[in-house]
Structure formats: structure tokens, C-alpha cells
Amino acid sequence: AEIVIVENAEKAGALVADEIARLIASRPDTVLGLATGSTPLPVYAALRTRLADQDVSKVRAFALDEYVGIDPAHPESYRSVISREVVEPLGLTPELVHVPNGAVDGIEHAGDDYEAKIKAAGGIDLQILGIGTDGHIGFNEPGSSFASQTRVKTLTERTREDNARFFDSIDDVPRHCITQGLGTILEARHLVLLAFGEGKARAVAEAVEGPMSAFMPASAVQLHPHVTVVVDEAAASQLK
């Protein structure tokens, strides 16, 4: 992986947004892979200015994951977050931006449906990734197969605690999610993994330098030929 250490999250956002703007300029129907959570927000913020004068009406996108059983209209459903943070501010075409369907009704084929949509789009050009403190990417928690495809997973207690800040209480954090698999993520043409802060340092070091293991799902990125890791000093602090 190429490791880029930046001064702060804002600089990271600018760097990645520049790359995405270049991609869209050369291919107006670029397929983006979108992460939610706090980490990618500086990228989305920087894209507002970068893309202001560009035609983005043909840009396509796929989110990494969604909670199972959450009302899509709930402000913290990833459908809502992607609309609020990405689709609306950047002026993307809503029909071209996909989020896995977390509705309980039909959940048994929601993963396969999502895989089919990604394939029909010709695959993801650039996948933005955050990393969980337990080493997950997407919501592929420790123990996930490197070959996994989009499917339902159970969130670890650690992840539910980490994400409780978005809800009124931890009891409101859903227990299950539907997430692109590690195998799905590895099929994207370029992976951009972002991490900021001391709390991510161990996961970053183990993902990039540690032995590959299903118990450190992010270590799957070592199998990918084109990975860019963008971190601040704190998140890089345990790299050798």
C-alpha cells in the first residue's frame, strides 16, 4: 500500500477529493464506493467545492453498508446519511446512488441483489474506506471471510458502543447490518483507506503491516494491488 501521512483530516479530505474530482473529469459516469461514519466527512466536505463546476449528473455510487431493520427515514440510517452528506450537497442524481436494502422483508436476497447492481455498473472505480477500532472495513467484523460478498452480519459490542454516539442510547443501535463483503471490496479498482486519531493507530498498523488474518478484516487490503492509506500522525503512530 502507498501510505500518505497528512497533517490533519482536512488535508486528507482535500487530497482524496482532488483525486475523485480528477476521476470524474476523465470519466463522468465514474462509480464511487462510499463509506459512512465520521472519517469520510472531510472528503465529502472538500468535494462540495471541488465538484461545484463539474457535471456530476452521471456519477454513480454504492454505499458500503446499512443497518438491518432501521427505518430508512431514520436520520442515522445510512440511506439518510448518504442523502444528507453526499447526494444533496454534491447534487448527485439520487437514482444512481445505491445503499444496501436493510429492510427485514426480503433481506435473504438483498445481498445478491446488491452484488448484481455493482456488477451491472461495471464495478467500483474508487472505494473510500474507514476502519473500525476492531479492524472492520465496511461492517466486516473480525472473523469475516476474505472472499465474502454482500451479506448480513452481526455488529460486535465494540462497534455498537463506537456508534452509540449517533443514537439516543446504545439500545437504539441496531444489532445487524448488511455490508459489502471483503471480497466485494477487493474487487474495487482503487481502495482509499482513511483513518484519523490515536484510537485507530493499532488497527491501521495491524491492517497494513500485521499478518493477514480474518481476525483483522482490514488486513485483506494487503491482497489488493492499488491501495492508498491516508492517515494523520496519530493514526500512523504505530506503523513501523
Kindly state the smallest distance separating residue 175's Cβ from ligand F6R, in Å.
15
Question: Considering the rule CB under 6 A, would residue 100 count as an interface residue with ligand F6R?
Answer: no
Long-range contacts of 8-11, Cβ-Cβ distance < 8 Å, separation of 24 or more: 8/196, 8/232, 9/39, 9/42, 9/196, 9/232, 10/42, 10/46
Rounded Cα–Cα distance for residues 177 and 155 (Å): 7
Given 136, 162, 206, 232, which residue is catalytic? 136
- The helix/strand/coil state of 4 is strand
- Determine whether 74 is an active site residue: no
Question: Considering the rule CB under 6 A, would residue 87 count as an interface residue with ligand F6R?
Answer: no
Site for ligand F6R in 182-211 (CB under 6 A): none
Kindly state the smallest distance separating residue 64's Cβ from ligand F6R, in Å.
4
Phi, psi angles (nearest 5°) of residue 159:
-70, -40
By CB under 6 A, name the one of 1, 3, 5, 37 that touches ligand F6R.
Answer: 37
Rounded Cα–Cα distance for residues 4 and 229 (Å): 6
The alpha carbon of residue 156 and the mean position of all alpha carbons in its chain are separated, in whole angstroms, by 17
Rounded Cα–Cα distance for residues 123 and 142 (Å): 25
- The helix/strand/coil state of 85 is helix
Cβ–Cβ under 8 Å, residues 33 and 126: yes
- Determine whether 136 is an active site residue: yes
Q: Record the cell numbers describing residue 84, joined without a space.
A: 444528507
Nearer to ligand F6R, 54 or 202 (CB): 202
Q: Which residues pair with 128 in a beta bridge?
A: 192
Given 66, 125, 141, 232, which residue is catalytic? 141
Question: Considering the rule CB under 6 A, would residue 33 count as an interface residue with ligand F6R?
Answer: no
Number of residues that bind ligand F6R (CB under 6 A): 14
Nearer to ligand F6R, 30 or 140 (CB): 140
Rounded Cα–Cα distance for residues 83 and 197 (Å): 26
By CB under 6 A, name the one of 35, 178, 208, 221 that touches ligand F6R.
Answer: 35
By CB under 6 A, name the one of 111, 130, 135, 217 that touches ligand F6R.
Answer: 130
Question: Considering the rule CB under 6 A, would residue 132 count as an interface residue with ligand F6R?
Answer: yes
- Determine whether 168 is an active site residue: no
Question: Considering the rule CB under 6 A, would residue 98 count as an interface residue with ligand F6R?
Answer: no
Q: Which stretch binds ligand F6R (CB under 6 A): 18-26, 30-38, 45-53, 90-98?
A: 30-38
Rounded Cα–Cα distance for residues 171 and 57 (Å): 39
Question: Considering the rule CB under 6 A, would residue 181 count as an interface residue with ligand F6R?
Answer: no
- Report the catalytic residues: 65, 134, 136, 141
Residues contributing to the site for ligand F6R (CB under 6 A): 35-39, 64-65, 130-132, 136-139
